[in-house]
Amino acid sequence: MTGVRLFFIFEIMLLTACGAPDSEPASPAPERMAKTADANANTEMSADPDPATESVDNPSSPEPLEPLAETLPLAQWRSWAPLCEGHPSKGDCDDGDATLFSGLLCLSGEEAGCQAVQAAQDSTGKFWRSPRRVGVEAANSFSRDMALGVLAWLMASKDKAAAQSWLQWIDQNSVCQINVGGNCQLRTYRYCRDDNDGRCFITPGMWTMMRRVWEYLELPLHKEMKTIGENTLVAEASQAPLGYALHLKAVMFFLYQKIGRNFSFEGDLINIIIERQPDNLFFQYLQEGSRVRLREDLENLCPREEPEETKQWTWERDTAENAQQHSMGWDCIFLGRLLTAP
């Protein structure tokens, strides 16, 4: 049996055991480590040509922007959006998903999100769920969900040193699953060493997402980035449960859209997402771009005054839950920045 066949058999077995994409671990005690990002990852340039995944016409591309009305109340939302040790968070320092949300904030142009993700990388190159959790050993200290936030931050910051340091940590913490005669035939890679359900295992889809960001940053590709795993995204979006699972597919679309290469699957992907959850304003933005109607809908949806509980990123919840009633504020700021961008 070849190494490639062994890889996919093993991957299927592992993903079957992985369960849900992510769930938040218990909050650890605050601790910090210094961050540096001056390392070279064990990478190699990919010699194989990029497959024909791009299209000249992108049906998901937004039409030209309409003039916007007066500015959204971003300052009002910032006045009560929670901070944990100076960084975006849900209320009561519930920062278990902060790196995902902060990365999205950064890519929307919100500097507080950029600073948070940068501070969530330690001196070894590893990223953590929030700056407060850096160096705190606990189960599920990271996940594929959080990795999407890091990729969003890398696209916004173009911090090549941080990207290479991260990839070096991933390479150094890989695991040989099948060894034949002293030669590793199957190696797996992970974002953390303490996951108990496979949430840190790097899937082909995540390697492909990393490849696209590495190409965007003009960085040399790791050998694992040669395999393209985008052909299942539309099918996955059609089956993803409403709520955070579908939101993660929308986040991936957002990153592909920002990369700006008009991949052929983009139109089908956003159409499925909108069909599944048509009332989600973030999803509407991804399909339509910035519109006066969306700006008005956002202003009407988001609370101006601080809710009793600030525990929700509205766009990752089924709209039937009315999560905006417990908005963390940063969700409104994120979409507001996108809708008022030049």
pLDDT in tens, the chain (342 residues): 444 344 444 444 444 444 445 644 444 444 434 333 344 444 443 434 454 344 434 444 444 444 444 589 999 999 999 999 999 999 999 999 999 999 999 999 999 999 999 999 999 999 999 999 999 988 999 999 999 999 999 999 999 999 999 999 999 999 999 989 889 989 999 999 999 999 999 999 999 999 999 999 999 999 999 888 898 999 999 999 999 999 999 999 999 999 999 999 999 999 999 999 999 999 999 999 999 999 999 999 999 999 999 999 999 999 999 999 999 999 999 999 999 998
- 146 DSSP assignment: H
**In 187-318, alpha helices (H):** 204-216, 233-239, 244-259, 266-276, 281-288, 292-301
- 15 DSSP assignment: H
pTM across the whole model:
0.83
12 residue type, one letter: I
In angstroms, rounded to a whole number, what is the distance separating the alpha carbons of residues 101 and 99?
6
Q: Extract the tokens encoding 75.
A: 């300052």
User: Are the CB atoms for 40 and 164 separated by under 8 Å?
Assistant: yes
184 residue type, one letter: C
331 residue type, one letter: D
Q: Extract the tokens encoding 329.
A: 């504020």
| Count of positions (residues) in the chain | 342
DSSP reduced 3-state for 273: helix
Four-CA torsion 228, 285, 86, 39, nearest 10 degrees:
20
E strands, the chain, are: 83-84, 87-88, 175-180, 183-188
Quote the Cα angle for 11-18-8, to 5°.
5
Helices (H) and strands (E) in the chain, counts: 13, 4
User: Are the CB atoms for 318 and 242 separated by under 8 Å?
Assistant: yes
| Run of H or E including 157 | helix 144-157
